[in-house]
Structure 1
Amino acid sequence: MLIGLYPIIYFLVDRKFGLLNSKSVELLTNTFWNIGFYTHIIFGGIALLTGWTQFSPKMRNRRMALHRKLGKVYVIAVLLSALAGIYIGFFATGGLISSTGFICLGIIWFYTTLKAYLYIKRGEVEKHQKIMVYSYAACFAAVTLRIWLPILTMLYGNFSKAYLVVAWLSWIPNLLVAYLLTRKKAVNG
Structure 2
Amino acid sequence: MKKIKQKTGWITLFVMVFLFIAYVLIQYFIVSPKESGVVQGKLATPHFPYRPWIGVLYVHIVAGCTAFIIGPFQFFKKPVGKGASLHRKLGYIYVLSILFAGVAGMYLCWYATGGIISGLGFFMLDLLWLVTTGIALRMVLQKKFAAHRRWMIRSYAVTFAFVTFRLYLLPFTLLLNLSIQTAIQMSSWLCWITNLLLIELLLRRKTVNAKTELHITRIL
User: What 5-or-longer segments of structure 2 have no aligned partner?
Assistant: 1-16, 211-220
Question: 1:37-71: CA deviations, max 9, x gaps?
Answer: 11111100111111111112x34235111211111
Query: Which of 46, 69, 89 is the equivalent residue of 1:49?
Result: 69
Q: CA deviation at 1:30?
A: 3.7
* 3-state SS of paired residue (2:33): coil
Consecutive aligned runs of 4 or more in structure 1 exceeding 4 Å deviation: none
Higher relative contact order (CA 8 A, sep 6+): 1
What is the count of residue pairs matched by the alignment? 187
Aligned to 1:7: 24
* 3-state SS of paired residue (2:48): helix
Distance 1:94 1:42 in 2: 24
Query: Which of 112, 123, 135 is the equivalent residue of 1:103?
Result: 123
CA contact (8 A) 1:7 1:42 kept: no
| TM-score, length basis structure 1 | 0.92
Distance 1:6 1:121 in 2: 36
Aligned to 1:122: 142
User: What 5-or-longer segments of structure 1 have no aligned partner?
Assistant: none
Query: Which of 138, 162, 187 is the equivalent residue of 2:183?
Result: 162
| TM-score, length basis structure 2 | 0.79
Cα RMSD (Å) of the superposition? Answer: 1.6
Query: Which of 156, 168, 171 is the equivalent residue of 1:148?
Result: 168
Question: 1:88-139: CA deviations, max 9, x gaps?
Answer: 1121001010000000000000110011011101101111111111100100
Q: CA deviation at 1:186?
A: 1.6
Work out the percentage of aligned pairs sharing the same amino acid.
37
* 3-state SS of paired residue (2:80): helix
Specify the structure having the higher radius of gyration (Cα). Answer: 2
Distance 2:135 2:72 in 1: 18
